[in-house]
Structure 1
Amino acid sequence: TEACHFRDDFKVLTSLGAKVIGVSIDDSFSHKKFAEKYNLPFPLLSDTSGEVASRYGALNNFLFIKLAKRYTFLISPQGKIAKIYLNVDTSKHSQEIIEDLKLLK
Structure 2
Amino acid sequence: GCTKEACSFRDNASAFADFHAQRVGISMDDVAKQAEFSSQHNFDYPLLADTDGAVAKSYGVKRAIGLLKVKRTTFVINQDRTIRAVISSEFNMNAHVDQALAALAN
| TM-score, scaled to structure 1 | 0.87
Deviation at 1:6, TM superposition (A): 0.5
- Residue 50 of structure 1 contacts residue 66 of structure 1 at CA under 8 Å; is this kept in 2? no
> How far apart, in 2, do the equivalents of 1:61 and 1:97 lie?
26
Aligned residues: 102
Larger Rg: 1
Q: Pairwise CA RMSD of aligned residues?
A: 1.8
Q: 2:59 aligns with which of 51, 56, 71?
A: 56
Q: Aligned residues: percent identity? A: 30
**What residue ranges of structure 2 are gaps of 5+ in the alignment?**
none
Q: 1:93 aligns with which of 76, 91, 96?
A: 96
- Residue 25 of structure 1 contacts residue 50 of structure 1 at CA under 8 Å; is this kept in 2? yes
AA partner of residue 80 (structure 2): Q
| TM-score, scaled to structure 2 | 0.87
For residue 72 of structure 2, what is the aligned residue in structure 1? 70
Superposed CA deviations along residues 1-31 of structure 1, whole A, max 9, x for unmatched, are: 1010100101210221211000100111110
**What residue ranges of structure 1 are gaps of 5+ in the alignment?**
none
For residue 43 of structure 2, what is the aligned residue in structure 1? 40
- Residue 28 of structure 2 contacts residue 51 of structure 2 at CA under 8 Å; is this kept in 1? yes
> How far apart, in 1, do the equivalents of 2:11 and 2:95 lie?
12
Tell me the secondary structure at the aligned position of residue 84 of structure 1.
strand
Ranges of 4+ aligned residues in structure 1 off by more than 2 Å? none
- Residue 20 of structure 1 contacts residue 42 of structure 1 at CA under 8 Å; is this kept in 2? yes
For residue 4 of structure 1, what is the aligned residue in structure 2? 7
For residue 24 of structure 2, what is the aligned residue in structure 1? 21
